[in-house]
Amino acid sequence: MKLLVLAALAAAAAVPLPARTPRTWARDPAWHDGLAEKCVYEATRTVYGVPRAYLATAYTNKERVDPETTAKAEGERGFEAFKHHWSERVPTERYDYDYSTMVYLRADDLSAYKLTAATQDDCGASFKELVREGRDELAWRESVYFPGGGARAGSLRRASAVGLADALTLALRDYDFEGRPVLDLELVPGQKDVHRVPFEPVRRRVRHLGREALDLPVGRVDAHALALETPEGEVEARYWFAADGGAPMLHALVRYEGPQGITYRLASHERTAYWKR
């Protein structure tokens, strides 16, 4: 599983995992039905010290990417990728905070190819972008309106094994829920923030917490729970993925708890041509 190009821990030693194609869920014919997966979540995020309730929407589909433009290709050019886009509007007393976070993961091995993270509120807009250049470099640039931000650019070299924290809500669908290994990751921190966030990778570990039945807005769902931990063992985030790997669920994210008071609880799940009017 080349997933985020991870390493599994066998006993006390980290053992590199061999390159492999993604699991059955990622190769399901549903991804070629001309529709996209649309998941709506009852969500919270802490802004100005207060938990804000809102709806978050995640769209996931397969499409071809043109490596010359790093955008959606015309026709059959380029390579096949999963596009995973979160659209979120968080209300506060004075104005809303808008977050648009999109990742491309290559369909053949789920390796990180591109990230765009944009935020907008009445005080300004921030934008972050990271794109793989060749096999071993990730180039990034940003423009952050918040104090201490500004415009910067750079690159991460020797980054063939680096994944994206913002992609885990998609990439961890490929976790081996039967074997339940402990995984070591090297991740670019989540960029879904109005502030400047370092692009330098951090070490994290994924551990299986068990299987449980969840009562969610969408109904009762059988799910696997995963923990994202720091090297010191502190739990940074928890993910719950549907135990059902067949269509239509395909191990979709059904619940999440993470930094900044962010929570997601699945309210609806459908396949739809959401772009049609």
What pLDDT digit, counting tens, does each position of 204-259 carry? 999 999 999 999 999 999 999 999 999 999 999 999 999 999 999 999 999 999 99
What pLDDT digit, counting tens, does each position of 22-80 carry? 999 999 999 999 999 999 999 999 999 999 999 999 999 999 999 999 999 998 899 99
| DSSP characters over the chain | -TTTT-EEEETTEEEEPPP----GGGG-GGGGSS-EEEEEEEEEEEETTEEEEEEEEEEEEEEEEETTTTEEPSTT-SEEEEEEEEEEEEE-SS-EEEEEEEEEEETTT--EEEEEEEEEETTEEEEEEEEEETTTEEEEEEEE-STT-EEEEEEEES-TT-EEGGGHHHHGGGS-TTT--EEEEEEEPP--SSS----S-EEEEEEEEEEEEEEETTEEEEEEEEEEE-TT--EEEEEEEES--STTTTT-EEEEE-GGG-EEEEEEEEEE-TT--
What pLDDT digit, counting tens, does each position of 163-210 carry? 999 999 999 999 999 999 999 999 999 999 999 999 999 999 999 999
**Residue 12 pLDDT > 60:** no
pLDDT computed for residue 241 by the predictor: 98
Can you give the residue ranges of every domain in the chain? 7-272
Query: How many percent of the chain have pLDDT more than 70?
Result: 93
pTM of the model as a whole: 0.92
